């Protein structure tokens, strides 16, 4: 086993609030243990383009409260090719980097796992995605902040819905997973929650609306995950309006507002904890794993198992949401 003397760190895929806190923890923990740290700009693109910067303790001053990522991030198709990955690996070797810490989601971990398998290069992952869709951790970095951003927005929408007797379809992020939609829907008292994990039947939704109308409920909120099988909020709202026009219907797509903003206390502490543990894991020789936290305990999950497709929605919460919306 090669002694770890220099660590590289990058952020990849979609940005998430708390990534900077994770970077800060990695850099300062590595320095504490006498290691050098290299920041890799623009994710895996930076690995291929040799876009490396030396990181010092002051490099991460005053960033824990900032959203986004100071290392920037990108999705890199070239890294998926053998030629691109070989170039990235050679740049790591030329820079004398002994281990790599990657902060991102499912796609980031697939790339890291392939790098390890192909070149036996040590890689540790931190779960950085607002979707909370990775197996091996209770929460991902950025999820809590994104969830609270949605809740604040929907609370404001509820005010105007009440004032105008309106039906609002609010679309939130979640192309493959409905965790943001489900939890924000429960927290905001939404009348219906539509997510990719369950099939949406428009006539069932219309029955809910008709019931609420007969109960003299004049304003409603429907939370729609962008990946719902019946389409996004605009598509579903159009289908509903064609068959049920009693409500004045509006659509709001929250979009990338969910990615931004200062990270919450929960995300700052989680990111700091996982960054700290990632460096310790790398020093101890662990590799090809994601660092997570389950029931407040640090857990190591192989990249192959950390895939979002291994994480299931809590169906009991769906049942609860339906009961509480009546």
Architecture of domain 6-142+263-307: 3-Layer(aba) Sandwich (3.40)
Residue 326 vs residue 315, higher pLDDT? 315
pLDDT at 310 over 70: no
Quick check: 166 pLDDT over 60?
yes
Q: How large is the average pLDDT for residues 93-106?
A: 96
- Give alpha helix (H) positions in 33-178: 44-49, 82-94, 106-119, 143-164
Q: Which CATH architecture has domain 143-259?
A: 3-Layer(aba) Sandwich (3.40)
Mind listing the pLDDT tens digit for each residue in 249-285?
999 999 999 999 999 999 999 999 999 999 999 999 9
Share of the chain above pLDDT 70, in %: 98
pTM of the predicted structure, to 2 decimals: 0.93
Q: Alpha-carbon distance 221 to 137, whole Å?
A: 30
Mean pLDDT on 129-147 = 95
223-241: buried (b, 16+ CB within 10 Å) or exposed (e) per residue?
Answer: bbbbbbeebbbeebbebbe
> 6-142+263-307 and 143-259: same fold?
yes
pLDDT at position 3 over 60: yes
Which pLDDT score is estimated for 127?
Answer: 97
Which is higher by pLDDT, 324 or 287? 287
Note the pLDDT tens digit of each residue in 37-69. Answer: 999 999 999 999 999 999 999 999 999 999 999
- Per-residue tokens: 138: 């209770």
84 has pLDDT over 80 = yes
142-151, pLDDT tens digit by residue?
999 999 999 9
Question: 218-253: per-residue pLDDT in tens?
Answer: 788 999 999 999 889 999 999 999 888 888 899 999
**Is residue 308 predicted with pLDDT exceeding 70?**
no
Q: Please list the active-site residues.
A: 131
pLDDT given for residue 1 in this prediction: 54
pLDDT, average across residues 182-196: 94
Sign of CA dihedral 158, 161, 165, 168: negative
Looking at residue 309, its pLDDT comes to 66
Domain positions in the chain are 6-142+263-307, 143-259
Number of other residues whose CB lies within 10 A of the CB of residue 6: 16
């Amino acid at each position: 086993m090669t002694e770890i003397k220099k660590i590289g760190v990058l952020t990849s895929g979609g940005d998430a609030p708390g990534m900077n806190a994770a970077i800060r923890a990695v850099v300062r923990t590595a320095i504490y243990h006498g290691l050098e740290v290299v920041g890799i700009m623009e994710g895996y693109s930076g690995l291929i383009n040799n876009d490396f910067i030396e990181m010092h303790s002051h490099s991460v001053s005053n960033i824990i409260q900032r959203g986004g990522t100071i290392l920037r991030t990108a999705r890199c198709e070239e890294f998926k090719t053998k030629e691109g990955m070989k170039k990235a690996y050679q740049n790591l070797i030329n820079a004398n980097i002994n281990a790599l810490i990657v902060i991102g989601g499912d796609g980031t971990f697939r790339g890291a796992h392939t790098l390890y398998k192909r070149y036996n290069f040590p890689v540790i992952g931190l779960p950085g995605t607002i979707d909370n869709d990775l197996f091996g951790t209770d929460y991902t970095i950025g999820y809590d902040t994104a969830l609270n951003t949605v809740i604040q927005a929907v609370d404001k929408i509820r005010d105007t819905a009440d004032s105008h007797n309106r039906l609002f379809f609010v679309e939130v992020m979640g192309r493959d997973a409905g965790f943001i939609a489900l939890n924000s829907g429960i927290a905001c008292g939404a009348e219906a929650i539509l997510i990719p994990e369950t099939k949406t039947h428009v006539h069932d939704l219309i029955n809910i609306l008709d019931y609420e109308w007969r109960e003299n409920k004049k304003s409603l909120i429907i939370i729609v995950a962008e990946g719902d099988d019946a389409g996004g909020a605009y598509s579903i709202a159009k289908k509903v309006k064609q068959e049920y026009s009693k409500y004045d219907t509006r659509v709001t797509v929250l979009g990338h507002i969910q990615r931004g903003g200062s990270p919450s206390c929960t995300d700052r502490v989680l990111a700091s904890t996982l960054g700290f543990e990632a460096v310790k894991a790398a020093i101890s020789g662990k590799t090809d794993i994601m660092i997570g936290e389950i029931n407040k305990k640090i857990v190591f999950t192989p990249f192959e198992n950390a895939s979002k497709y291994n994480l299931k929605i809590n169906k009991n919460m769906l049942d609860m949401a339906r009961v509480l919306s009546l």
